[in-house]
Amino acid sequence: MSPSRIVTSSSAPDPSAIPDSNATHENPWYNQDFDGFRISEQPLFQRRPIRLVCVGAGATGLQIAYKAERLLKDVTLQIYEKNSDIGGTWLENRYPGCTCDIPSHSYQFTWHRNPNWSSFYSGSEEIWRYFKDVAITYDLEKYVKFNTAVEKAVWQEEEGVWRLTLVSSDGTRFEDTCEILVNGSGVLNAWRYPDIPGMENFKGKLMHSARWDSEYDLKGKTVAVIGGGSSAVQIVPQIQPIVGKLIPFLRSPVWVTTGFGAKFAGPGGTNFEYSPSQLKEFNTDPSAYDKYCRDLEGELNKRFTMMHNKSQDQKNSRDVVADMMSTQLNKDPTLTSKLIPDFALGCRRMTPGSGYLQSLTKDNVSVITSSVAKFTEKGVVDETGQEHEVDVVICATGFDVSFTPHFEVIGRGGKSLKEEFGELPKTYLAVTAADFPNLFLLLGSNGPVSHGSVLPIFDWHTRYMFSMIHKLQTENIKCFTPKAACVDEFFSYTHELMKRLAWSASCSSWFKMGKKDGPVTAVWAGSRLHYFEVMKDVRWEDYDITYWSRNRFQFLGNGYTQCELDPEGDPVWYFDDPFTKA
């Protein structure tokens, strides 16, 4: 009996089966040209190698490096950092009392928890050490070129890349290109002195909180502090006991509150150091530590109702904080009338300030509630005309909060991002901008910067960006940019909802680029969980997508899949698809 014979088939393409594009087909109907389209001899979703450049090696850069190494394929990553080390704002800000107002166990990466934080709210140096430990543990500095600043980024439409001009600390200039550009240089990064006349005439010591001179001795000096925001609130109680005389210029009141997650903090929402027994539990009982982190994080997500102007939570909280502030000011009628705000709680960033208000009542402190009008050789003159002679002027006056990268960005059609943003930056979901293809802003305008720790937010930004990178690599896409109409509609949504929220109240705030009135440019109009859910999936219908070829289905390739060409591929993978199990 002859052996049975069966028809066999190879799973790999047969080169001899690929016809010449000009060959005559036996079926006359197929002897036509379909708009000049030609098949790409590759399987479905063939991944294209690309280059990703991130500007900044702070939290954003570290997050992208860690996740890219584990989740992206055929992507070359390069991070450029202007400083000599990682850490961003926590490397640069080392003024006395510099502390994060987010609980330590929330201000950490979800993928690298630190059970050894020394206190509930951590200082800048400890936070920087945490980031340094992350960089060393996972060998992330191999992606970073330090002492290198990006000067300019110009979109090249034909090539589908960003052309970067960079400068090293020694003045050497060079260029680089990338398909994907990420601005991860931070929101509170570009510090600036106030625009006050005569600053160059001052003969004493002048310093900014973001460029603190730790070598300078303030002991016994007469010191003026300009600014009343978070930095000043932390600096003043630290230097008050050692200076001879302290003159804080506080032209605008601010709500001085307990920090985020105060329910878990010390008495009255104060900071505290973790005990040896607590640290031991965090290190030896993973489930207990996980529960602590989850409970703490959950508490940060319960503040949105309070941010509604007319809510009972807002009214009750204002009453409590106002009473607390009055007590800490010893119920001094002059100070309470000037320093307790009459605007909504949260209109300016609520500012935790342990010991701050009490320090303003000390004998060596003279609070001035008018603005500084000009500098003189010996000090400053306030807006009433009175001169204050001082040895030192400390400017705790904040940062450039225009949400424009510190480097020049030229997008499609020669558009300048700085000019497009101007006084009213518009982004799409705080992550992309119209006419600036393949550019990611982490964070862009109207993101959740006042909603708790930004580090979990970076998880969602990175996830969103990686989804877009994967699609770009596997579907023959040159670039994507949000549709202008979608940016405008998101803008309308944001500010219509913002009407009911405390951030839009009338007060001078960096949320409004330092203005008293006008649009809120910094904050997401919604809760933190609201933002996370929005960012779960990319709304591709909101993007203009440009393909490398005229036919968007070029990526379908030669009819084969990656699975079929993989000797280890599972030819019945669809049996295990979650939908089949439902």
Listing DSSP states for 370-425 in one string gives S-EEEE-SSEEEETTS-EEE-SEEEE---B--S---SSEEE-GGG-BHHHHHTTS-
Q: Are 442 and 518 a contacting pair, CB within 8 Å? A: no
Q: What is the pLDDT of residue 156?
A: 98
Q: pTM to 2 decimals?
A: 0.93
State how far the Cα of 360 lies from the Cα of 4, in Å rounded to an integer. 98
Q: What is the pLDDT of residue 263?
A: 86
pLDDT-derived band of residue 206, with 50, 70 and 90 as boundaries? Answer: very high
Q: What is the pLDDT of residue 151?
A: 97
State how far the Cα of 521 lies from the Cα of 504, in Å rounded to an integer. 10
52 vs 210, more confident: 52
Q: What is the pLDDT of residue 442?
A: 87
State how far the Cα of 327 lies from the Cα of 62, in Å rounded to an integer. 43
Pairing label, strands 245-249, 148-156: unpaired
Q: Are 418 and 432 a contacting pair, CB within 8 Å? A: no
Q: Is the pLDDT of residue 494 over 80?
A: yes
pLDDT-derived band of residue 188, with 50, 70 and 90 as boundaries? Answer: low
Q: Three-state SS across 459-497?
A: HHHHHHHHHHHHHHHHCCEEEEEECHHHHHHHHHHHHHH
State how far the Cα of 402 lies from the Cα of 441, in Å rounded to an integer. 12
Q: What is the pLDDT of residue 268?
A: 80
241 vs 352, more confident: 241
pLDDT-derived band of residue 462, with 50, 70 and 90 as boundaries? Answer: very high
DSSP string, 277-317: HHHHHHHH-HHHHHHHHHHHHHHHTT-TGGGBTT-HHHHHH
State how far the Cα of 503 lies from the Cα of 507, in Å rounded to an integer. 9
Q: Is the pLDDT of residue 476 over 90?
A: yes
DSSP-assigned letter for residue 121: S
Of the chain, the percentage scoring pLDDT greater than 90 comes to 80
Using the CB atoms, write b or e for 27-64: b if 16+ within 10 Å: eeeeeeeeeeeeeeebbbbbebebbbbbbbbbbbbbbb
Q: Is the pLDDT of residue 573 over 70?
A: yes
Q: What is the pLDDT of residue 378?
A: 95
Q: What is the pLDDT of residue 8?
A: 65
Using the CB atoms, write b or e for 251-265: b if 16+ within 10 Å: bbbbbbbbbbbbebb
Q: What is the pLDDT of residue 104?
A: 95
State how far the Cα of 416 lies from the Cα of 285, in Å rounded to an integer. 53
Q: Are 339 and 357 a contacting pair, CB within 8 Å? A: yes
Mean pLDDT, residues 112-117 taken together: 98
pLDDT-derived band of residue 84, with 50, 70 and 90 as boundaries? Answer: very high
Query: What pLDDT digit, counting tens, does each position of 288-316 carry?
Result: 999 999 999 999 898 899 999 999 999 99
Mean pLDDT, residues 567-577 taken together: 92
Q: Is the pLDDT of residue 15 over 60?
A: yes
Dig out the tokens for 97 from the structure. 């009392």
Q: What is the pLDDT of residue 148?
A: 97
Of the chain, the percentage scoring pLDDT greater than 70 comes to 97
What SS3 class is residue 245?
Answer: strand
pLDDT-derived band of residue 7, with 50, 70 and 90 as boundaries? Answer: low
* Best CA proximity match to 558, nearest among 140, 139, 11: 11
Paired strand residues for 161 = 156
Q: What is the pLDDT of residue 128?
A: 96
Q: Is the pLDDT of residue 79 over 60?
A: yes
* Best CA proximity match to 296, nearest among 451, 106, 530, 457: 106
Using the CB atoms, write b or e for 173-197: b if 16+ within 10 Å: eeebebbbbbbbbbbbbebeeeebe
For tokens 């089949």, what's the residue?
A: 580
Q: What is the pLDDT of residue 399?
A: 66
State how far the Cα of 401 lies from the Cα of 352, in Å rounded to an integer. 21
Q: What is the pLDDT of residue 250?
A: 93
pLDDT-derived band of residue 3, with 50, 70 and 90 as boundaries? Answer: low
Task: Dump strand ranges (E) for 81-157.
Answer: 144-145, 148-156
pLDDT-derived band of residue 260, with 50, 70 and 90 as boundaries? Answer: confident
Q: What is the pLDDT of residue 62?
A: 97
Query: What pLDDT digit, counting tens, does each position of 121-173 carry?
Result: 999 999 999 999 999 999 999 999 999 999 999 999 999 999 999 999 999 99
Q: What is the pLDDT of residue 46?
A: 96
* Best CA proximity match to 83, nearest among 403, 406, 457: 406
Computed over every residue of the chain, the mean pLDDT equals 93
Q: Are 357 and 365 a contacting pair, CB within 8 Å? A: no
Q: Is the pLDDT of residue 432 over 70?
A: yes
Q: Which of 218-232, 371-385, 393-407 has the lowest mean pLDDT?
A: 393-407
